[in-house]
Amino acid sequence: MKVLKNTVKCSNCGSENSIYKLTCVECGSYLRERVVNIDLWKSLWTLLYEPTTAFKKIIFAEHKNFVSVLLLIVSIKVILVSAFVSNYFNTPLFSYTNLFVALSILLFISILLIFTLAYLVTEADKMLGLSTRFKDNLSLLTYSFIPIIISLIILTPIEYAIFGKYWFLHNPSPFFINSFTGYILVGIEVLMLLWTILLFATGVYFQSKNKIYSMIVSIITFAILFASIIFLSVNFPNII
């Protein structure tokens, strides 16, 4: 079922090619410039003001360097969010005796979850007739988390400086300690999440050229992510 279509036409023979192709599948002519590696700092900066250009370079790059590092950092933030949420289900993650084992399991699950989401996006594209690659979707998703990484680097230290361990343990709740500051910080975290959703939608749009599909995919992807965080928060005691 080919509902979506986004191809590049070869100027030499007129054949249609997937947007990530470097050379034409029919005549071998070059379709675009060659991008060997992702320039991390340039990509991060470009994502702030011209995300479409940044995602274009990320998709075209032959080596998706720094994805592993960013994925690890994102997974740490997922663990911290899970720890925050878990308190509302009376299963605080940071209360386990063997904390190292618990965190190691959570780290593995978080990375596996992001890989799974990228795979699901790739399969959804394929079902609708859109030719995309798993490694491209994984890279798009990972680099879309830049606002979340900014949150980890800037907001998390502020949260810990103000509330200490109680931001993650809720004993007492940080909203009892300083409700105004607590809600402001949560509000900023939500804005960072919305920014991340928009970034991923932009990346999906570059591949699909369909705004509705891009927003639906991005919203569903992060809905699954958040639902998984809640599921982990509730059921983690049974997992370990």
Question: Does residue 56 belong to any structural domain of this protein?
Answer: yes
Query: 9 phi and psi, to 5 degrees?
Result: -90, 130
- Which alpha helices (H) appear in 164-210, and where do they start and end? 166-169, 174-177, 179-208
Question: Does residue 122 belong to any structural domain of this protein?
Answer: yes
Residue 200's beta-bridge partner residues? Answer: none
Measured CA to CA, the distance from residue 218 to residue 141 in angstroms comes to: 9
Measured CA to CA, the distance from residue 176 to residue 147 in angstroms comes to: 27
pLDDT at 196: 97
Question: Does residue 23 belong to any structural domain of this protein?
Answer: no
Label residue 59 by pLDDT band (50, 70, 90). very high
Residue 14 predicted with pLDDT over 90: no
Averaged pLDDT, 51-63: 94
pLDDT, tens only, 92-128: 676 655 667 777 888 898 999 999 999 999 999 999 9
Residues of the chain with pLDDT > 90, as a percent, come to: 58
pLDDT at 238: 62
C-alpha closest to that of 236 among 124, 104, 146: 104
Label residue 35 by pLDDT band (50, 70, 90). very high
Tokens 């990375």 -> residue: 111
Question: In Å, what is the CA distance from 176 to each residue of 24, 91, 172, 179, 230?
Answer: 62, 19, 7, 6, 23
Question: Does residue 14 belong to any structural domain of this protein?
Answer: no
Residues spanned by the domain of 46: 33-239
pLDDT at 221: 97
More confident residue, 149 or 231: 149
Question: In Å, what is the CA distance from 154 to each residue of 7, 93, 164?
Answer: 40, 22, 15
Residue 156 predicted with pLDDT over 90: yes
pLDDT at 232: 81
CA-CA-CA-CA dihedral for 115, 119, 125, 131, to nearest 10: 90
pLDDT, tens only, 204-240: 999 999 999 999 999 999 999 999 988 887 776 666 5
What is the value of pTM for the model shown? 0.91
pLDDT at 237: 63
Averaged pLDDT, 188-214: 95
Averaged pLDDT, 12-30: 89
pLDDT at 146: 96
Question: Does residue 93 belong to any structural domain of this protein?
Answer: yes
pLDDT at 2: 60
Question: Does residue 64 belong to any structural domain of this protein?
Answer: yes
Total domains in the chain come to 1
Q: Quote the distance between the C-alpha of residue 160 and its chain's center.
A: 24
The number of CA neighbours under 13 Å toward the Cβ of 106 is: 29
pLDDT at 95: 61
Query: 211 phi and psi, to 5 degrees?
Result: -65, -45
Q: Provide the sign of the torsion angle of the four alpha carbons 127, 131, 136, 142, taken in this order.
A: negative
Q: Provide the sign of the torsion angle of the four alpha carbons 184, 185, 190, 193, taken in this order.
A: positive
User: What residues have CB less than 8 Å from 42, skipping those under 6 apart?
Assistant: none
